[in-house]
């Protein structure tokens, strides 16, 4: 297996703009492994727009490593092999066995190929893979070269009719032996070998043994040619050409902006359900504002407003407030002041959702200001101690950890970013108040 080439964190601009696999390293320990269409852009994006998981390890990163691949499919396969080899902590931090994908070949006369989350010892399998969509697309394109069976019936109880995959020439269709016309032992044995050979070859490709498969096909082609079976030799020649073509040119990774959009649409739907928005004409949730207060015993008090658009920070909408309320800590009054001042600026545009740092009291503070402004913006509050989420109209909070992972990540990102921005401004104001700045 090829080794990573490493660059120090301050030299990531020198990473290649090609597809392949990358990793982050702290000392001798690999923290995270990923794949990319463009290694340089993907690595830089971790630092430019970090997800909540990224924030767990980015400050530990000392080096970024990379391995270039000839194709997206090879990058997907190499990523799986390297994750299996190194077991990076932050690849598995939010995952359990059900979130990984494995390609399975069954032990039957006419073996099946399919994807599962939890393979058993009854199967021959390859994995784990992280990106299920890319894996499905890979199997789809490899099926053009190695038609395989995927139906869920046992070999001795094959379907009575051939399926669409057969008509698309993507399955050898052993089910046709249910037809009396094809109950010929020699033909059945020949097809059995073909189904097994295709399944074996496909699994080897998924394991990363492309060169071995090509070597075997070329050997088989030469043998057919020596035996003057030129039709078979031509078929294998075309199979070799098709394999090299699909490996080199198949596009299995979605561009990152499409992935982000798809991910956000899923998160948005979950949010709408949690907020109990009306089923008809559900309010779009695109712009979310989060607020926090920072002070020391009421002194040098500041407030922050940060904004996420479609799940990502948009700093042109960030705002900071030097609070007029000083003296004793008055978090409720401070939240009210921030919101009152914010809603005097309708030219900033209105958010689709508001997150307040705090519990029931802070939620009620947001309610009073929003109602006084005659607004209908949904609002929620997150209490730090137990990460309890308070919702409008709900008497009891919801533990954040029991919510879907997409919501868990989003809410913590919003809360942490608002907290970071408030503290940064608070420290600046405190230095001024103490006369530490000229």
146 and 184, same domain (yes or no): yes
339 falls within a domain: yes
Three-class secondary structure assignment of 261-274: HHHHHHHHHHHHHH
168 and 244, same domain (yes or no): yes
107 falls within a domain: yes
256 falls within a domain: no
Domain span at residue 413 reads 263-433
CA–CA separation, 7 vs 255, rounded Å? 25
CATH number (domain holding residue 11): 3.40.1440.10
Domain total of the chain: 3
321 falls within a domain: yes
237 and 299, same domain (yes or no): no
Query: In sequence order, what are the beta bridge partners of 289?
Result: 307, 354
112 and 202, same domain (yes or no): yes
129 and 268, same domain (yes or no): no
255 falls within a domain: no
Which domain-ending residue is among 94, 122, 145?
94
276 and 340, same domain (yes or no): yes
For residue 288, how many other CB atoms are within 10 A of its CB?
22
CATH number (domain holding residue 414): 3.30.420.340
For residue 177, how many other CB atoms are within 10 A of its CB?
17
267 falls within a domain: yes
CA–CA separation, 104 vs 203, rounded Å? 8
Tokens matching residue 188: 């059945």
346 falls within a domain: yes
Residue-wise pLDDT tens for the chain (438 aa)? 678 999 998 899 999 999 999 999 998 899 999 999 999 989 988 887 776 677 778 889 999 999 999 889 999 999 999 988 888 888 865 454 456 888 888 888 888 888 888 777 778 888 888 888 889 989 888 888 888 887 776 555 666 666 767 657 678 777 766 555 455 667 677 777 888 888 889 899 888 888 888 998 899 899 888 888 888 888 888 888 888 888 887 788 876 666 667 788 889 989 999 988 765 456 789 899 999 988 766 577 888 999 999 888 888 899 988 888 766 667 788 899 999 999 988 888 899 999 999 899 999 999 999 998 888 899 999 998 788 999 988 888 999 888 988 898 899 989 989 988 888 887 888 777 666 444
Contact residues for 156 (Cβ-Cβ < 8 A; gap 6+): 109
206 and 286, same domain (yes or no): no
Which domain-ending residue is among 94, 125, 142?
94
Alpha helices in 180-255 (DSSP H): 185-207, 210-226, 230-249
Which domain-ending residue is among 63, 94, 125?
94
CA–CA separation, 381 vs 360, rounded Å? 7
CA–CA separation, 58 vs 36, rounded Å? 18
CA–CA separation, 77 vs 68, rounded Å? 13
Phi, psi of 239 (to 5 degrees): -65, -40
Which residue from 32, 76, 67 is spatially nearest to 50, judged by alpha carbons? 32
- Please say whether the beta carbons of 417 and 313 come within 8 A: yes
């Amino acid at each position: 297996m090829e080794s990573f080439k490493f660059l120090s964190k301050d030299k990531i601009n020198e990473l290649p703009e090609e597809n392949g696999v990358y990793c982050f390293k702290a000392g001798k320990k690999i923290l995270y492994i990923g794949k990319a269409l463009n290694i340089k852009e993907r690595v830089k994006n971790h630092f430019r727009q970090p997800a909540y998981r990224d924030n767990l390890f980015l400050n530990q990163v000392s080096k970024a490593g990379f391995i270039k691949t000839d194709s997206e499919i090879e990058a997907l396969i190499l990523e799986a092999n390297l994750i299996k080899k190194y077991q990076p902590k932050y690849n598995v931090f939010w995952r359990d066995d059900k979130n990984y994908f494995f390609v399975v070949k069954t032990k039957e006369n006419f073996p099946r190929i399919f994807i599962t989350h939890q393979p058993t010892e009854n199967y021959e399998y390859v994995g784990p893979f992280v990106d299920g969509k890319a894996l499905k697309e890979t199997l789809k394109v490899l099926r053009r070269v190695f038609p395989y069976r995927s139906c869920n019936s046992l070999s001795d109880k094959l379907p009575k009719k051939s399926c669409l995959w057969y008509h698309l020439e993507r399955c050898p269709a052993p089910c046709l032996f249910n037809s009396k016309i094809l109950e010929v032992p020699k033909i059945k044995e020949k097809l059995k070998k073909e189904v097994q050979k295709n399944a074996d070859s496909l699994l080897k490709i998924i394991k990363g043994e492309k060169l071995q498969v090509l070597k075997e096909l070329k050997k088989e082609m030469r043998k057919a040619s020596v035996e003057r079976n030129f039709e078979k030799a031509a078929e294998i020649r075309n199979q070799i050409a098709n394999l090299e073509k699909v490996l080199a040119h198949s596009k299995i990774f979605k561009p990152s902006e499409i992935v982000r959009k798809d991910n956000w649409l899923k998160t948005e739907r979950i949010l709408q359900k949690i907020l109990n928005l009306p089923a008809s004409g559900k309010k779009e949730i695109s712009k979310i504002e989060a607020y926090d207060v920072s002070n020391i015993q009421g002194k040098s008090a500041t407030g922050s407003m940060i904004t996420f658009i479609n799940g990502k920070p948009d700093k042109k909408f960030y705002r900071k407030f030097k609070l007029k309320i000083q003296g004793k800590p008055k978090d409720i009054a401070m939240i009210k002041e921030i919101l009152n001042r914010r809603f005097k600026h309708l030219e900033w545009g209105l958010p689709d959702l508001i997150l307040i740092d705090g519990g029931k009291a802070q939620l009620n503070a947001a309610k009073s200001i929003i109602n006084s402004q005659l607004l209908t913006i949904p609002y929620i509050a997150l209490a730090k101690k137990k990460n309890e989420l308070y919702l409008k109209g709900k008497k009891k909070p919801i533990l954040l950890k029991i919510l879907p992972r997409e919501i868990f990540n989003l809410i913590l990102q919003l809360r942490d970013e608002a907290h970071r921005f408030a503290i940064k401004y608070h420290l600046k104001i405190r230095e001024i108040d103490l006369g530490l700045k000229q």
